[in-house]
Amino acid sequence: MKKVSLFFFAVILLADPVMVYSQRRPGRQITIKLASMVPANTPWGTALNRMASEWSAATNGEVRMQIYPNGTQGTEADVLQKLNMNVIQAAVFTSFGLRKIVPEILTVSCPLLIRNDEELTAVFDVIKPELEAKINSQNYYSMALVRGGWVKIFSKEPVFVPSDLKRMKVGSDPEEPAMMAAFKSMGYQVVPVSTNRTLIALNGGTIDAVYVSPIASAGMQFFGVAKNMSTVNIAPFLGGIVINKHTWETIPEQHRAAILRITRRIGTEIEISLAQLESDAINTMTKHGLVINDLNSQQKQEWYDDLEKVIPILLGGDTFDRDTYDKIDRIVKTYRSGR
C-alpha cells in the first residue's frame, strides 16, 4: 500500500561530525537527526521544518533538529536500522515502517476493513493509545501517530467491482510483501513493481492498475496513464514520528513535555493538511483527464463481500494480526449499527 510514503531516493553519506547527543551539562546542545521519506515541499516536510524551529525556541536552543528529507537515508528498513544504531535519532515512518516496530499497526490498513473517515475516527480513537503504548514498550518513543489518507485503485480501464480489477495486472511494491500477499489471497493478478518503476510499467503494459494514494498518483503522474479512479476506499494508512528511547531520555526532563506537545499539535495539523491535499489532488487530476468511477452502494457491497471470503486466509499467517482485526471489526460494526 502506498503511503503518502511513496517517495524514495538514494542513500547519501552522513557528512559532518554533528554532536548527536550529550551528557546533560549546562549549555550543551543536543542535535537530533531526523530522517523522512517525503520531499521537503510537502505538508509533512513543511511541518517538520516548523517543528524543528519550535523545538529550538521552546528549549532555548538546547534541542536542535537536523532533518534529512527525500529518502536520503534510504528505505524505511534502512532508516529503522540507522535508528537502532543511533546514526539517526528520529524518523518519519509510514504504516510499513511502523509495522517493523509493532506488527499490529498494519492491520489498520487491512483492505476494506475500515470504509470511510468516520469509521477510521472511531477506530483511531480507541486503538491509537494502544499502538503508541506498544511502540513505547520497546526501544522507541512515539512522538506522533497520524492518519495519512486513503489508498484507492487507479486503472487504465474503469473498475467498479472486484471482477473488473481481477482481469487486470495490478502493480504492487515488493517492499510491501504483506500487501502483495493480501491482494494475491483476494484473487488479484499481482505484479511486483517498485514505485519508481510504476509509471514505466503502466506505460509499457506490464501492469494495468495500481493501488496508491491520490496524492502519490498526482505527484508521480500515474493518473496520466491509469486514468480511472474507483471511489471505493481500499484502505487507510498511517504515519508516525518516532524517536529512539535513548535519545528521548537524553533530552532534559524540563523540555520533554513541551517537545511532545509541539510534535503532537503539528501531527494534528499534518492530518488536516493531508486530507485537504488529497482532496485537492483529486480535483486537479480530474481537471487533467482523470475519470472518477463512482460506485453505487450495491457495487461497494460487492467489494466488502469479496473480502469476507478471504478473511480466514488473511488472518491465518503473519500478514494481519487476528486480535487487532477482531477489535477493529467490533468497533466498525458497532459504529455502523448506531448510524
Cα 154 from chain centre: 18
Asked if 255 and 58 count as a contact pair (C-beta separation under 8 A), the reply is yes
CATH code where residue 196 lies: 3.40.190.170
- How far apart (Å, rounded) are the C-alpha atoms in residues 243 and 220? 29
Asked if 68 and 99 count as a contact pair (C-beta separation under 8 A), the reply is no
Report yes or no on 8 lying in a domain.
no
Report yes or no on 219 lying in a domain.
yes
pLDDT value of residue 179? 82
Report yes or no on 288 lying in a domain.
yes
Interacting residues of 320 by C-beta distance below 8 A, sequence separation 6+: 106, 107, 110, 178, 182, 314
pLDDT digits (tens), the chain, 339 positions: 443 333 332 222 222 333 333 334 445 789 999 999 887 887 778 899 999 999 999 999 999 999 999 889 998 989 999 999 999 999 999 888 899 999 999 999 999 999 999 999 999 999 999 999 999 999 999 999 999 899 999 999 999 999 999 999 999 988 888 888 888 888 999 999 988 899 999 999 999 999 999 988 998 899 999 999 999 999 999 999 999 999 999 999 999 999 999 999 999 998 888 888 899 999 999 999 999 999 999 999 999 999 888 888 888 677 789 999 999 999 999 999 986
3-state class (DSSP) for residue 190 = strand
pLDDT value of residue 314? 83
Please give the tally of structural domains in the chain: 1
- How far apart (Å, rounded) are the C-alpha atoms in residues 79 and 92? 9
Asked if 320 and 314 count as a contact pair (C-beta separation under 8 A), the reply is yes
For 226, the domain range is 30-338
Retrieve residue 119's grid coordinates. 469509521
Report yes or no on 3 lying in a domain.
no
Retrieve residue 154's grid coordinates. 487507479
Report yes or no on 244 lying in a domain.
yes
DSSP 306: H
CA angle 89, 91, 93 (to 5 degrees): 150
Cα–Cα separations (whole angstroms), residue 71 to 92, 141, 330: 10, 21, 37
Report yes or no on 23 lying in a domain.
no
Report yes or no on 302 lying in a domain.
yes
Report yes or no on 168 lying in a domain.
yes
pTM of the complete model = 0.85
